[in-house]
Structure 1
Amino acid sequence: MVKIRLKRFGAAKRPCYRIVVMDSREPRDGRCIEEIGTYQPIEKEGNQVAIKEDRIKYWIGVGAQPTDIVAKLMNKKGLAKNGQSK
């Protein structure tokens, strides 16, 4: 199954995450199919999430399932779980 989930990068005590599409059997920091955004929890509220909306809509359209955290980030950016804008 293909999932849309977070992949950690960045320095110790300063996490950054990439929003990626990957096989659910891969480890968290393993090989991904495509990177479709970033999440930086330390930044100010408006600059935390950057998502390529067209790519996330495509992947959801072909059956990729977002994790709970990615679904919350999508809602924060105004994208519904089914890939349609609110």
Structure 2
Amino acid sequence: MVLKLRLARVATPGGARRHSPTYNIVLAHARTARDSKPLEVLGTYNPIPTVPEGVTEEDVRDGKARKQKEIKVDVARAKYWLGVGAQPSGTVWRVLSMIGLLEPKYLPTGPQTEKALKAVRFPTHVPKTTPVSAKEA
């Protein structure tokens, strides 16, 4: 059967809350319902931008900082399932590209491509590179 990485709405106590969606990033069979029991939960995604810790609303209004969407993913498990052939949905593809796990589907071509990649990714989730001198030692 085909496996899909997709979003499933999180049920809150007392029923779903309107206008405040929260989703689990799950692995499920392609033909199962959106909110049925998944094979594995890989992370969470809150699409409503919030102010990060340590930043005030005044900083956001002044343009010194910006609100961010909350994304938490078990990167090792997500890489494993993508490696064995699980297909991400369009929204999950976009979320995983925000944290640098997949390349964005739609980017401008040409010399501005690297600049566009930096603009799409959150600064806290950019993969860290090791210095060249550390590899030689």
TM-score, length-normalised on structure 1?
A: 0.86
3-state SS in 1 of match to 2:9: strand
- State how far apart, in whole Å, the 2-side matches of 1:43 and 1:52 are: 21
CA radius of gyration, larger in: 2
Counterpart residue number, 2:47: 41
**Counterpart amino acid of residue 9 in structure 2:** R
Counterpart residue number, 2:4: 3
- Once the two structures are overlaid, the 10-residue window that deviates more, 19-28 or 44-53, is 44-53
* Consecutive unaligned residues in structure 1, runs of 5 or more: none
Q: How many residues align?
A: 82
Pick the structure with more strand per residue.
1
- State how far apart, in whole Å, the 2-side matches of 1:43 and 1:26 are: 29
* Consecutive unaligned residues in structure 2, runs of 5 or more: 51-66, 104-126, 128-137
Deviations 1:23-48 (A, max 9, x none): 01100001100000000112424451
RMSD value over aligned CA atoms?
Answer: 1.5
Pick the structure with more helix per residue.
2
Pair 1:19-2:25 in alignment: yes
Deviation at 1:20, TM superposition (A): 0.1
- State how far apart, in whole Å, the 2-side matches of 1:70 and 1:28 are: 13
Q: Which aligned segments of 4 or more residues in structure 1 are displaced greater than 6 angstroms?
A: none
Pair 1:60-2:60 in alignment: no
Counterpart residue number, 1:79: 101
- State how far apart, in whole Å, the 2-side matches of 1:46 and 1:55 are: 24
Give aligned-pair identity as a percent.
Answer: 37
Which fold has the larger relative contact order, with Cα–Cα distance below 8 Å and residues 6 or more apart in sequence? 1
Deviation at 1:71, TM superposition (A): 0.5
- State how far apart, in whole Å, the 2-side matches of 1:48 and 1:27 are: 25
